[in-house]
Amino acid sequence: MKYGLNTLRGDIFGGVTSMVVALPVSLGFGIASGMGAAAGLYGAIAVGFFASVFGGTRSQISGPTAPMTVAMAVVLTSYADSLGEALTVVVMAGLLQVLLGISRIGRFVAYTPHVVVSGFMSGIGFIIMLMQSLPLLGASGETSGPMDAARMLPAAAGNVHVSALAVGAVTLAVGFLWPRRMSRFAPGPLVALAAGTLLSILWFDDAPVIGAIPIGLPTLQFALPSAEFLLHALKPAIILALLGSVDSLLTSLVADSMTGNRHNPDRELIGQGIGNVAAGLIGALPGAGATMGTVINIRSGGSTPVSGALRALLLLALVLGLGRFVEPIPLAALAGVLIKVGWDIVDWPMLSRLHRLRREHLLVMLITLGLTVFVDLITAVAIGLIAGGMVHARRLERLELDSVISVPLLDESFFAGEEMPTGTDPYSARVGMVALGGTLSVASSHKLVSVVGLDIREHEVVIFDFSETAYVDDSAAMVIRQLLEVAETSRTGCIVMGLGNEAAATLNSLDVLGGMPAGRIVGTLDEARRIARQDLEEKAGAPS
């Protein structure tokens, strides 16, 4: 792609517009995480810049996001005794993301079932709205999680700070009512924040505000942890790394759908990991690909990494010289902005169609959503993926078994035009054919024995036809070994026919066919017919 003046103009518009949107959201996420407003801004700068420069999605905007904010709040309250330990977790998470990218497994995130993503994101949206209800009412927003916020909510509702509630209500109303067509001129979150701040300055000046924001370049805040803490920090680091990776790559898919480009998932994870390492070193909130910022950037004309890097530099300029203008922003106004963000994160279209979902898909979504809100994020994603995989495996089982055909071969038809084997009733079917077509995996392997085993025992010779087999995994290969053992126990002759490269590689690697007599692995039906005739002749001539 040639970079010209029009591309530069689009990147400038995209960078400026996404910076304006990022300002209130980053401040709000920083406070919601418990790390402070400045940490949110530093996170938008560090993750935004390095993910743009080193990432694999051309027009993606990165920074603090709702899932990473909620996860970081849990790290601060449950896994770390100090900010330094929490930042160690962030650095470890970034390094894990880099390793994920180097390992080239980023592409597999695209296989996450939509019901898992929907349930997880909706749960995050509900958590954000629940936790931000406290500062909206004028109470402290420092909580250990959504359940703690829910316990504090009745007390906050009984002791409402009128000024904070008025400011938050106006901010929330402007955020919801601001016309979408006007967003190209003035983004809704910024207009809502300005309205709430102006109201606070003019009339409700006793509403709690952000307060002092550090001015200047962030300093190195990382300290070498103990080996004992590194082991303790591994679990939350994995949580942050997985959440950041899933969040970023799903946003990359959104960007691809809007631009027609194709992102590099492994490079994207490396870029996000470098950004989060930098964030942890300077005391910033970790981040990921931000869907809202990315969409706004693309719609404003941003099409290359320049827009994301420019956005980060503009935020840095704000921190260096304009921090004092951020200090009077009311916490209730930020809460109003974040509640609107949480509302937008919830997958309302999917929730409105719950009654139309298949029962198993509905169950997976509700499990993921419930675990996200009531337990923790990593448990929700892990259990959701397992449940989604089980549902998918059940569907695959039916499809794979439909491709397995076990039929008797009438002697008169099978040996048509040839002399019948000695002692053969032309209307008998002493030879059976088991056609293993398509793909055979763990999904269908456990039922193959029960489906095919009885048919094997009813014949004197069985031909296993792999002519139409596309793939055999290790589980199915071991079941095929069981089928061969069933045939041997039943004194049924076995012939393997049409074994292709893919299936042969798996079967040979596990020595499934090691016990087969020489010459019983053939390529064509004529060869199989010849061996079957020999077997029947031998059985007919054998003493009873």
- Res 421: pLDDT: 62
- Res 222: pLDDT: 65
- Res 272: pLDDT: 92
* Average per-residue pLDDT for the chain: 78
pLDDT band, very low/low/confident/very high, at 94 (cuts 50, 70, 90) = very high
- Res 275: pLDDT: 92
CA 121 to CA 167: how far, in whole Å?
27
User: Quick check: 306 pLDDT over 80?
Assistant: yes
List the structure tokens of 407. 């039929």
214-242 mean pLDDT: 75
Measured on CA atoms in the order 269, 272, 274, 280, is the torsion positive or negative?
negative
List the structure tokens of 206. 């006793």
User: Quick check: 519 pLDDT over 90?
Assistant: no
- Res 441: pLDDT: 66
pLDDT band, very low/low/confident/very high, at 450 (cuts 50, 70, 90) = low
- Res 274: pLDDT: 93
119-135 mean pLDDT: 80
Measuring CA to CA, which residue among 283, 294, 277, 282 is closest to residue 240?
Answer: 277
User: Quick check: 443 pLDDT over 60?
Assistant: no
Measuring CA to CA, which residue among 470, 461, 453 is closest to residue 522?
Answer: 461
Query: pLDDT: is 92 or 138 the higher one?
Result: 92
Query: pLDDT: is 41 or 323 the higher one?
Result: 41
77-81 mean pLDDT: 76
- Res 178: pLDDT: 82
- Res 352: pLDDT: 82
- Please report where in the chains the tokens 């009412």 appear, as a residue: 137
- Res 544: pLDDT: 43
- Which positions ≥6 away from 253 have C-beta within 8 Å? 110, 263
240, 88 Cβ separation under 8 angstroms: no
CA 71 to CA 288: how far, in whole Å?
12
* One-letter amino acid of 151: R
List the structure tokens of 223. 């300290």
- Which positions ≥6 away from 202 have C-beta within 8 Å? none
Q: How does pLDDT run across 25-50, given as a tens digit for each residue? A: 787 788 878 888 788 888 889 999 99
- Please report where in the chains the tokens 């026919």 appear, as a residue: 497
Burial 351-379 (b: 16+ CB within 10 A, else e): eeeeeeeeebbbebbebbbebbbeebbbe
* One-letter amino acid of 353: R
Instruction: Count Cα atoms within 13 angstroms, Cβ side, for 291.
Output: 17
CA 136 to CA 387: how far, in whole Å?
36
450-456 mean pLDDT: 69
Claim: this prediction has a pTM higher than 0.75: no
Which stretches of 14-87 are assigned E, i.e. beta strand? 62-63
- Res 95: pLDDT: 92
CB-CB neighbours of 422 under 10 Å? 12
- Res 317: pLDDT: 80
Distances in whole angstroms, Cα of residue 502 to Cα of each of 30, 108, 242, 467, 484: 52, 22, 33, 11, 19
- Which positions ≥6 away from 423 have C-beta within 8 Å? 540
Q: Where on the phi/psi map is residue 307: left (φ > 0), alpha (ψ -120 to 50), or beta?
A: alpha
* Collapsed DSSP state (helix, strand, coil) of residue 290: coil
Measuring CA to CA, which residue among 171, 130, 172 is closest to residue 154?
Answer: 130
Which range of 179-188, 190-199, 276-285, 441-450 scores highest in mean pLDDT? It is: 276-285
User: Quick check: 119 pLDDT over 70?
Assistant: yes
pLDDT band, very low/low/confident/very high, at 97 (cuts 50, 70, 90) = very high
Structure letter (DSSP) for residue 76: I
DSSP of 406-461, one letter per residue? Answer: EEEE-HHHHTTTSPPPTT--TT---EEEEEE-EEE-HHHHHHHHHHHHHHHHT-SE
CA 230 to CA 85: how far, in whole Å?
9
166-184 mean pLDDT: 81
- Res 271: pLDDT: 92
- Res 445: pLDDT: 59
CA 439 to CA 422: how far, in whole Å?
38
Burial 395-408 (b: 16+ CB within 10 A, else e): ebbeebbebbebee
Residue 65, H or E segment:
none
95-118 mean pLDDT: 79
404, 451 Cβ separation under 8 angstroms: yes
User: Quick check: 172 pLDDT over 90?
Assistant: no
Give percent of the chain with pLDDT exceeding 90: 4
- Res 434: pLDDT: 80
CA 117 to CA 385: how far, in whole Å?
9
* Collapsed DSSP state (helix, strand, coil) of residue 261: coil
Give percent of the chain with pLDDT exceeding 70: 83
pLDDT band, very low/low/confident/very high, at 72 (cuts 50, 70, 90) = confident
Query: pLDDT: is 272 or 127 the higher one?
Result: 272
Range name among 34-38, 181-185, 281-285 with the lowest pLDDT average: 181-185
Q: How does pLDDT run across 386-422, given as a tens digit for each residue? A: 777 777 666 666 666 666 777 777 777 777 666 666 6
DSSP of 193-229, one letter per residue? Answer: HHHHHHHHHHT-TTS-B------S-------PPPHHH
CA 241 to CA 274: how far, in whole Å?
12
Query: pLDDT: is 352 or 54 the higher one?
Result: 54
462, 487 Cβ separation under 8 angstroms: yes
Strand partners, 464: 434, 496
Instruction: Count Cα atoms within 13 angstroms, Cβ side, for 104.
Output: 0
Range name among 89-93, 207-211, 362-366, 529-533 with the lowest pLDDT average: 207-211
Distances in whole angstroms, Cα of residue 134 to Cα of each of 15, 321, 345: 32, 31, 19
